[in-house]
Amino acid sequence: MNSNAYGKPVPPKKDRREQARESARLMREEQQKRDKRKRLFMRGGIGAGLLAVAAIVALVIVNSVGPAAAGPANMASDGILLTGDGSAITATPTKALAADAKPIATDRTALTGTANIAVYVDYLCPYCGQFEATNGAQIASWVTAGTATLEFHPISILDSNSAGSKYSTRAANAVACVANYQPDDFLAVNTALFASQPKESTTGLTDAELAGLVKTAGVTDKKVASCITDRAFASWLGAATKRALAGPLPDADIKKISGTPTVLVNGVAYAGALDNAATFSDFVTAQVAAK
């Protein structure tokens, strides 16, 4: 048996051929596995991964929920409705949802001639972050101008992807706290959360860091910080997530949430590219025209 330049023994030629064939076989099998995983994630080609997001939900067996608790004020529909008057965005006030009470769907009878946009988001979901980065500013401009309304529904389906920290619940609880105490700053906090969005499989921001982020975004009510660290609306959020996953969704052409983001415009689910602002704008225009 010969030696190579590093002093390691070289096997006979026959053995080397067998080792090469075995190595090639293992490489082919590994490549086949990679190709299969890639096909699973890329199949369908909708937007930037809507089907992949739906697959995420298959990993979520319903979040564990503690004792029933009241929801935040201004979120009686399990969401917060934002409208504009040409110069500013404000939240529509509602009473807090009582413990075990059913949500009250937003009355849209007076919201005619506008694009009524509803978004269901998980603050750990990278596709939600992509949609926000692409469309957040233009949606905010429509709402400010009064040509659109925006109803945000925070849910938590990705707690298991945050290294045990339950970031999805904690981040959504933070915006619920803002909705309860300083609702007109909800959109600013939503934007800040996505700008600081952690990667999946990391713990994300601590409760103290979430409170700091909310303060930096403009929230001055001191009760918000303790609401965040106490996770005051975590139980309500679990119930709201269950409702979104089970359905039925109000004013929607789909029965329930199967992934995030789920975006509805005048009740019609958006199935286009998440990373193309022009495509979403065209969809919004079409739904307003159809109305």
Res. 115: pLDDT tops 50: yes
Q: Which amino acid is at 172?
A: A
Nearest to 231 by CA among 186, 184, 175, 181: 175
3-state secondary structure at position 202: coil
Q: Residues near 206 by Cβ (< 8 Å), separated by ≥ 6?
A: none
In the structure, what pLDDT confidence band is assigned to residue 291 with cuts at 50, 70 and 90? confident
pLDDT tens-digit map of 159-173: 999 999 999 999 999
Interior/surface letters 38-74, b for 16+ CB within 10 angstroms, e for the rest: eeeeeeeeebbbbbbbbebbeebeebebeeebbbbbb
Res. 43: pLDDT tops 60: no
244 and 120 Cβ atoms separated by less than 8 Å: yes
Kindly state the tokens that stand for 255: 């029965």
Q: How far apart are CA 133 and CA 116, in angstroms?
A: 20
In the structure, what pLDDT confidence band is assigned to residue 51 with cuts at 50, 70 and 90? very low
Nearest to 275 by CA among 129, 59, 123, 90: 129
Q: How far apart are CA 98 and CA 72, in angstroms?
A: 9
Over residues 210-236, the mean pLDDT reads: 98
Residue with the bigger pLDDT between 67 and 42: it is 67
Nearest to 55 by CA among 261, 258, 272: 258
State residue 264 phi and psi, 5-degree precision: -120, 135
Q: Tell me what pLDDT residue 100 has.
A: 86
Q: Tell me what pLDDT residue 78 has.
A: 98
Q: Which amino acid is at 263?
A: V
Enumerate the domain spans of the chain.
Answer: 12-65, 80-290
Res. 207: pLDDT tops 70: yes
Of all residues in the chain, the percent with pLDDT exceeding 70 is 77
User: Which residues are registered as beta bridge partners of 117?
Assistant: 150, 265
> Structure pTM?
0.79
Kindly state the tokens that stand for 131: 């949609």
120 and 128 Cβ atoms separated by less than 8 Å: no
Q: Among all chains, which residue has been given the structure tokens 């059913």?
A: 102
Alpha helices in 43-125 (DSSP H): 50-58
Phi and psi based region of residue 49 (left: phi greater than 0; alpha: psi -120 to 50; beta: remaining): left
pLDDT tens-digit map of 231-289: 999 999 999 999 999 999 999 999 999 999 999 999 999 999 999 999 999 999 999 99
In the structure, what pLDDT confidence band is assigned to residue 76 with cuts at 50, 70 and 90? very high
Res. 41: pLDDT tops 90: no
Res. 106: pLDDT tops 90: yes
Kindly state the tokens that stand for 47: 């937007």
Q: Tell me what pLDDT residue 52 has.
A: 40
Range of weakest confidence among 35-44, 149-158, 208-217:
35-44
Phi and psi based region of residue 63 (left: phi greater than 0; alpha: psi -120 to 50; beta: remaining): beta
User: What is the total residue count of the chain?
Assistant: 291
CATH architecture for segment(s) 80-290: 3-Layer(aba) Sandwich (3.40)
Res. 84: pLDDT tops 80: yes
